[in-house]
Amino acid sequence: MRRIAPWLMAGSLILITPVWGEEPKPETTEVDEIVVTATREEKPLEDAPGSVTVITGEEIAGKNTSDLARVLEDKTGLKIERYGSLGSTTSLHIRGLRSQHVLVMMDDRIINAPSSGDADLSFLSIDNIERIEVVRGSVSALYGGNAVAGVVNIITKNPSPEPGSSFNFLYGTYGTMITQLSDSASKGPFGYLFTGNYKTSQGHRDNSTYHSGDSHLKMHYRWNDRKDLTVSLGNYQDKTEAPGARPAKDPSKRTASQIVLGTSRVSTKRDFSEDDKSYLNAVLEIGRLKLRNYLNSWDDHNHREWMWAGKHYTEDANFKTTVYGTELITHFDFSADRRSTFGVNAESNTFKVSEDEINVTDNLPVSSAYDAKRGNYAAFLQNEIKFGKVALTVGGRWDNPTDFASQFSAKGNLLWHIAPVTALRVSVGDSYRAPSLNDLNWPQDDSAEGNPNLLPEEGTSYEIGVKHTFNDSLSGGMNLFRQTLDNMIAWAPTGSMGPWGNRWRPSNLNKARINGLELSNTYQIKNITFNLNYTLLDAKQRNQELRDSGTNLMESETRKLSYVPSHKLDIGISVKHPAGIEKLFLDISGQYISDTYQYYAVYAAWPATKVSTDSKKLPGYWLVHLKLRKNIKDTTLFLGVDNLTNKEYAIQFGSSLDDRDYPMPGRSVSGGLEVKF
């Protein structure tokens, strides 16, 4: 049990003690913004503890995009990592920590892959999103593993009371075409919402085409005011080509695979992936009880080719992921000022891999397979007590996984409404990231092996923030935070001896320390809204780095945290009815990302065994996007220009010191329409 847990649990036990004889106070008046992710219950945004952002459906529509990353990228503390254009692997960083430390959910159904811990945003559609809730900071006290840096919960639309359908069509640069259809209706206690879309793009590089289709059905049955059932199910399928990084400018530094199978612009013209992902999410609510059952069933296929020692190899790998879980949550009101939330959860994760590798040159096939499993039982308790204008929320969660030691995570939040226009928030909590199934179970091969003795990564976060409304036009907020993370898992050549030296093996080698500042301001005058969001990160990593490949000598080094920019600035201008044109909307956004760094081991040629570390830098960049929408009765016309200045930039480093990077698309134009009927 970590440092914060004991006193928070003590506070939790105190807060749950009921106060008998107190009269309930009148219910809180209804407000527009209601959030659920921060506390696992519906709560006005102004009363939510911690740092919470809500992205509304109206804001999503104003982005004129089908890309979830575009919706998230301009929020404070959030940074998107992606490998290219539409369909490429896309992940989210929060406050300097990577995708494995961010829990992504859709209607409380976890999207993170148990095999790696990552959450790929590229396959998530935004067609049926009602809103997105972002909670920054450790939230393991409610959600368990991976909720180290924050939680993103995508809330989907409910069936509409009145029948309605819509059709969307978009066409743009790189042969990008997207069509989308939705239909919704309700009759008596039953309602449904169906959405489906098809996306295709030739991509902005060789071997970067993308084709996908997905469909979603949400059904709702309401018996009465106290009992209803919601069932959601869907399927996503795609084929995505993978060009790899740009090879080195100097042909002599390119690998044999890049020379034979790639070009000067891509590492390969042969690699691709095919995915088939399905889900089921059923929620039964009876009074204050909520029972949820969920299922993820993913069937993913990767094809890759490479050259080694003058021979041509191919590999086809199939990955089957099955996640099944059930959760029960309930709420207790001991008085108008004291409330508790209790929940239990059981989950099963299964990951199966089968690989068929062929030495094409000699016609020698080799097959292999392995599977990994994890079960987890969890319980959490959260208590809230109000003292006039002050609300204190304390909670903890116990997780009991089958493949590593049980974990207890706790968190406390204080919210003080200093004045009707000013709120102060203070949070402290601990968290953990579970070792992935690959980390623990990777089968021993010639070059790598898993480590069943890994410990979870353990984090602690501290935060203080203030939000103030200056007048009817201007509001702003500021957060100061500190995040520490110990026992970070890293792969290094410290395993058993293989045919080419020590095998790469994951170990709890590294640490991270991040101090940060977030500023958000909104200014509205007449029909114009200005948004300015700024994130400052002082992020350091203390890693164990290899110094001698013969003796496996490791040395501790402190460096700037990889992939983390010190500065991120987002500016947005939204204009309603520009130039007096009714029902015309203009959005201009600009984003600045400062330099980022990555580190690579440099091995001395045999027989020397010395190893040094070299760094690469991706320079900072400005991006500008422009969006226009025009409403004409039941039709909306839209036009968008991304990367208006045609900036050459990259977000993702190559996999080696000699590789360059993954270049992002230049200026791209898209236009289309939405028709409601």
3-state secondary structure 511-565: EEEEEEEEEEEEEEECCEEEEEEEEEEEEEEEEEEEEECCCCEEEEEEEECCCCC
Which residues sit opposite 79 in a β-bridge? 93
In angstroms, how far is CA 449 from the centroid of its own chain? 27
Q: Are strands 584-593 and 474-492 parallel, antiparallel or unpaired?
A: unpaired
Give dist(CA 258, CA 263) in Å, integer.
7
Q: How far is CA 628 from CA 71, 181, 561, 585, in A?
A: 16, 22, 38, 6
Run of H or E residues at 161: none
To which residue do tokens 């395993």 refer? Answer: 495
The 3-class secondary structure across 468-506, one letter per residue, is: EECCCCEEEEEEEEEEEEEEEEEEECCCCEECCEECEEE
Integer-rounded Cα Rg, in Å, for the chain is 26
Which DSSP letter does residue 336 get?
T
Give dist(CA 643, CA 593) in Å, integer.
14
Which residues sit opposite 417 in a β-bridge? none
Which DSSP letter does residue 620 get?
P
Q: What is the pLDDT of residue 2?
A: 52
To which residue do tokens 């909104």 refer? Answer: 522
Which amino acid is present at 488?
A: M
Q: What is the pLDDT of residue 32?
A: 56
Give dist(CA 498, CA 447) in Å, integer.
6
Give dist(CA 579, CA 659) in Å, integer.
48
Contact 501, 492 (CB under 8 A): no
Give dist(CA 143, CA 109) in Å, integer.
11
Q: How many CB atoms lie within 10 A of CB 208?
A: 24
Torsion of CA 37, 38, 41, 42, to 10 degrees: -80
What is the token pair recorded at 378? 């969890």
Give the torsion sign (CA, 332, 333, 334, 340): positive
Give dist(CA 327, CA 344) in Å, integer.
6
Give dist(CA 574, CA 56) in Å, integer.
15
Contact 249, 190 (CB under 8 A): no
Give the torsion sign (CA, 330, 395, 484, 450): negative
The counts of H helices and E strands in the chain are 6, 38
CA angle 404, 410, 412 (to 5 degrees): 165
Contact 603, 611 (CB under 8 A): yes
Contact 89, 272 (CB under 8 A): no
The 3-class secondary structure across 653-675, one letter per residue, is: ECCCCCCCEEECCCCEEEEEEEE
CB contact burial 517-537 (16+ within 10 A = b; e otherwise): ebebebeeeeeebebbbbbbb
Run of H or E residues at 299: strand 289-308
- Total residue length of the chain: 677
Give dist(CA 595, CA 617) in Å, integer.
7
- In this prediction, the residues of the chain whose per-residue pLDDT falls under 50 are 1, 3-31
* 476: nearest Cα among 428, 421, 526: 421
Question: Is 437 strand, coil or helix?
Answer: helix
CB hemisphere CA count around 149 (13 angstroms): 23
Q: Any long-range contacts for 56-59 (C-beta under 8 Å, 24+ apart)?
A: 56/131, 57/129, 57/130, 57/131, 57/157
Which residues touch 212 (CB under 8 Å, ≥6 apart)?
A: 87, 123, 198, 199, 200, 236, 237, 238, 239, 240
Q: Are strands 474-492 and 176-187 parallel, antiparallel or unpaired?
A: unpaired
Give dist(CA 259, CA 262) in Å, integer.
6
Q: What is the pLDDT of residue 11?
A: 43
Give dist(CA 465, CA 478) in Å, integer.
5
Q: Is the peptide bond before 607 cis (omega within 30 degrees of 0)?
A: yes
What is the token pair recorded at 91? 């992940």
To which residue do tokens 């075409």 refer? Answer: 177
What is the token pair recorded at 498? 């293989």
Give dist(CA 489, CA 452) in Å, integer.
12
To which residue do tokens 């960049």 refer? Answer: 621
Give dist(CA 109, CA 16) in Å, integer.
28
Q: How many CB atoms lie within 10 A of CB 614?
A: 10
Q: What is the pLDDT of residue 631?
A: 93
Q: What is the pLDDT of residue 609?
A: 86
Which residues sit opposite 352 in a β-bridge? 320, 371
Which amino acid is present at 251?
A: P
Per DSSP, the residues of 370-382 read EEEEEEEEEEEEE
